[in-house]
Amino acid sequence: MKKQVVLYKKLSPMLMSRLQAHADVTLIDEPKSDGLARLRAALPEAQGLLGASIKLDAALLDLAPKLEAVSSVSVGIDNYDLDYLDQRGILLSNTPDVLTETTADTGFALILASARRVVELANLVRAGQWKRNIGPLHFGSDVHGKTLGIIGMGRIGEALAQRGHFGFSMPVIYHSHSPKPAVEARFNAGYRSLDALLQEADFICLTLPLTAETEGLIGAREFALMRPESIFINISRGKVVDEAALITALQQAQIRAAGLDVFEREPLNHDSPLLHLNNVVATPHIGSATHETREAMARCAVDNLISALAGERPANLVNPKAWAVR
């Protein structure tokens, strides 16, 4: 008998057919709106869940007594209570690797757009305000040869370092929970304390996950350590940064600019001061948002769930403790 799967993210026809060959699938459209009620109604029979962008807390998963596995179409796991999943023996899998290069592309796009003031000056042209050759008032800053500081040297951090080191001759410095000799050898990178990196880097890029330890990591004290020429880039999670402190730092020219793909609350409120600052490039959480990468992520998630429901250990298991108690 096929297992019962609740799907709260649309799949391509090919991937839907693959999943349906292994499970009876209930698709919940728009689970963040009225679909949440239908998701709740479907949970009692669910043995597998597949989707993204919904916080699956204990109160919600208590409605799913038969649940065996959750397959997240994402890398971040901050929407899941790992202790709860471990206690129940529910396997959680995610989709690392497949989005690394695409997300690093987004990070470097924000570096270039912020440094060269691409959005601000493109809007000037669009508004018909380009009347003469631009002067120093609209000059940007170079990227090549500048110091790239990366906070969080995981897969995406390494991919960002590769672009900076080999593509733009940027000295690379980084901060993570421990030094990484292989990274240092490959990119001639230097390990720094967080404070030293903030003081030294021209571009300060966050690529670390949201955890209890990293939430609010960058606040008023940290922005005060940065130089007025610094450009701040966040492609990790919005809550790693105190957004009010970031706004103040930008308004008071403590830092030159910011390129932001993530925010404390998403979607970003229309009245956020960030939307009224010319030195901010804001994108709607597009880190992995390409056709190719999103399909690869969904394929990975489907494979993870099929393996888990077949009694096999998923290739991208997040919580091995749950596997041990099964």
How far is the CA of 248 from the CAs of 73, 220, 288, in angstroms? 34, 8, 29
How far, rounded to the nearest angstrom, does the alpha carbon of residue 268 sit from its chain's CA centroid?
15
Residue 125, classified by CB atoms within 10 Å of its CB into exposed (0-12), middle (13-18) or buried (19+), is: exposed
Does the annotation count 291 as an active-site position?
no
Does the annotation count 165 as an active-site position?
no
Among 175, 285, 294, 299, the active-site one is: 285
Contact call for residues 124 and 222 (beta carbons, < 8 A): no
Among 237, 256, 294, 299, the active-site one is: 237
**SS3 assignment, position 19:** helix
**SS3 assignment, position 51:** strand
Among 30, 229, 266, 312, the active-site one is: 266
How far is the CA of 109 from the CAs of 95, 102, 112, 324, in angstroms? 23, 11, 5, 42
Helix (H) or strand (E) holding 23: strand 23-27
Q: Where are the alpha helices (DSSP H) in the chain?
A: 13-20, 35-42, 58-61, 82-88, 100-115, 118-126, 155-162, 168, 181-187, 194-200, 220-225, 243-251, 291-309, 320-324
How far is the CA of 312 from the CAs of 44, 58, 87, 275, 315, in angstroms? 23, 25, 19, 47, 9
Reference 287, options 95, 13, 152, 99; nearest CA is 99
Does the annotation count 276 as an active-site position?
no
The Cα 129–Cα 107 span in angstroms is 29
Length of the chain measured in residues: 326
**SS3 assignment, position 125:** helix
Q: What residues are paired with 50 via a beta bridge?
A: 7, 71
- Catalytic residue numbers read 237, 266, 285
